[in-house]
Structure formats: C-alpha cells, structure tokens
Amino acid sequence: MTKPAKSSVEEIKHRFDNDVERFSQLEIGNTAQIDSAMSLDLIARVAARTNPNAKRLLDIGCGAGNYSLKMLERIPDMEVTLVDLSQPMLDRAAERIAAVTRRAVVTIQGDIRQVDLDDEEFDIAVGGAVFHHLREDAEWHATFRRIHQSLRSGGTFWVYDLLDHEMEGAEQEMQSLYAQYLVDLKGPEYRDLVFGWIEKEDTPRPLTFQLDVMRQAGFDKVDVLHKNISFAVYGGMKA
C-alpha cells in the first residue's frame, strides 16, 4: 500500500501558527515529547559549561522560545537569532526573550533549508524537535553543513529530536513504549493524535544516522547527552 504524502511546509506552518500556547510552557516543555523539560535544561547546562563566554545564539525552529529562554538563564544577555516557519511563534518568542535580555533579538521567518546564515556568526546553535521535518538525506547533510559554517571555532550545536531505529525489533518496541507513555499522559485519543502528526508530518531518523551526519558536516567532537525511547539529546563542537 502506498503511504500518504507527507505534509507540505505550508501545511506544517499552518498547524504551528495555531498551536502557539502549547509551545509556551517553559517549566514543563512539550509533554508530547518524552523528557522535553529535562532536555531543555540539559542542553542549557552543558552548552553553558562548554561555551561560557558565548555572545550569539542561533535557535532553529525556535517555536515560542523555550530553548533560548533556558540558555539565557545560564548565559545572560546573549544576542539571539530566532528561525521558525511560523510568524506567530516568532512573535511570541521575541516577546518572551526581549523581556530577559538587553541584547538584540533577531527573527527570521523561513525554512532552515533556505535561510541565509553568515559564516562564523554564532557561538551556540540549538535545534529543538525540528529536524525530524527534514525529508531526504541530502537535506540533512546540507542543513548540518550550513549550521557548522555559521558557527565560530569552538562553537557548539545541540539537538533534541524524535528518532526511529535501524533494527525493526527495536523500532517496534520503542513505538510501543512511546504509545504507552502518551496513553498514560492523556489517554488513547491523544496517542492517536500524536501518532497521526508523526505519520503525516515527520520523517524521524535513527540516532546513529544523525550522529554520522553531524560528523560528516565537520563537527570535530560529538557527544550523546541523553536518550529515552524515541527521543535523544546530542551535540557537536566545531574545531
């Protein structure tokens, strides 16, 4: 049976335009994503230890700004550049972030696959639950290379994202565990809703694939900070 076509960029943008409130909960994160709040905090803690003197932050697929807000708790007054498909998300993120930093907050509405970024512009880049929207291998490679080029020497790139798994048995078991997590959270209807979003919108890749892409993009040091069922946190440093 032929699988239905994935959502277009415009369809994904439309859904997120109308879902700002769900992405504006700093303390609990997005509960549909396992360990979301913990991963927010973990990225901020490790990035701050790795780049304590960072001045410029790039937040890719920023949503309502939770990752930037957590980063600014650890490294105050960085300049922040926000990239997102959704203008309502960008507006909310900019409002929240401007309240806690004296530095510039730049918003860019667009697809990270097409956004122009200057070389060696940022000290830290973060991407929270965004890259599973990429489709072909070439898009992953091109996007990670662009992010690598945008970082200064010693800069770091941190990712929290949805995964699938290379071995069929592992994928089946992880899907079952994630389904049960969603049922326990809000019931079977919510499980079906979230799995429907994934089927329609997302193209998750194995963690092993994502780490290979990061290394091939030029990141000299790569580390996994956390993995739980179908979500992981990892990062890389530019030499």
pLDDT in tens, 66-97: 999 999 999 998 999 999 999 999 999 999 99
Give the pLDDT confidence of 211-227 residue by residue, as tens digits.
Answer: 999 999 999 999 999 99
Closest CA to 84 of 73, 72, 76, 92: 92
Please state, as a whole number, how many other Cβ atoms lie within 10 Å of the Cβ of residue 85.
21
Query: Residue 38: pLDDT band by 50, 70, 90 thresholds?
Result: very high
Domain membership flag for residue 13:
yes
Domain membership flag for residue 4:
no
Kindly report the CATH number assigned to the domain that includes residue 133.
3.40.50.150
Q: What percent of the chain has pLDDT over 90?
A: 87
DSSP string, the chain: -PPPPPPPHHHHHHHHHT-TGGG--TTT--TTSTTHHHHHHHHHHHHHHHSTT--EEEEET-TTSHHHHHHHHHSTT-EEEEEES-HHHHHHHHHHHHTT-SS-EEEEES-TTT----TT-EEEEEEES-GGG--SHHHHHHHHHHHHHHEEEEEEEEEEEE---SSHHHHHHHHHHHHHHHHHHH-HHHHHHHHHHHHHH-----HHHHHHHHHHHTEEEEEEEEEETTEEEEEEEE-
Domain membership flag for residue 3:
no
| Alpha-carbon separation of residue 75 from 31, 63, 80, 197 (angstroms) | 25, 20, 11, 34
Structural domain harbouring 142? 9-238
Give the pLDDT confidence of 147-180 residue by residue, as tens digits.
Answer: 999 999 999 999 999 999 999 999 999 999 999 9
Query: What average pLDDT does this structure show over 115-143?
Result: 96
Closest CA to 194 of 166, 162, 167: 162
Domain membership flag for residue 19:
yes
Domain membership flag for residue 45:
yes
Domain membership flag for residue 223:
yes
Per the prediction, the chain carries an average pLDDT of 94
Name the β-bridge partners of 234. Answer: 159, 224
Give the pLDDT confidence of 1-19 residue by residue, as tens digits.
Answer: 445 688 888 888 778 877 7
Domain membership flag for residue 37:
yes
Can you give the pLDDT at residue 1? 44
| Torsion over CA: 196, 202, 203, 206 (sign) | negative
Domain membership flag for residue 180:
yes
How many domains, in total, are found in the chain? 1
Residue 60 scores a pLDDT above 80: yes
